[in-house]
Chains A and B, each alone.
Chain A
Amino acid sequence: DTGVSQDPRHKITKRGQNVTFRCDPISEHNRLYWYRQTLGQGPEFLTYFQNEAQLEKSRLLSDRFSAERPKGSFSTLEIQRTEQGDSAMYLCASSLLRNEQFFGPGTRLTVL
Chain B
Amino acid sequence: SQQGEEDPQALSIQEGENATMNCSYKTSINNLQWYRQNSGRGLVHLILIRSNEREKHSGRLRVTLDTSKKSSSLLITASRAADTASYFCATDPMVRGSNYKLTFGKGTLLTVNP
Contacts and interface: CB of A to CB of B under 8 A. Distances in A.
Interface of A: 2, 4, 6, 31, 33, 35, 40-45, 48, 50, 55-56, 89, 91, 93, 95, 98-106, 108
A99 B107 CA distance: 21
B87 to A, nearest CB: 10
A69 to B, nearest CB: 14
A45 B91 CA distance: 12
Nearest to A48: B99
Interface in B87-109: 88, 90, 92, 99-107
B52 interface: no
B45 A98 contact: no
Contacts, number: 67
Interface stretch (B28-36, B59-67, B68-76, B77-85): B28-36
Which range contains the number of B residues in contact with the other chain?
20 to 34
A55 B40 CA distance: 29
Contacts of B41: 105-106
Say what secondary structure dominates the interface of chain A: strand
B106 A108 contact: no
Given A42-B106, A98-B31, A31 B100 contact: yes
Contacts of B100: 31, 48, 95, 98
B48 interface: yes
B103 A103 contact: no
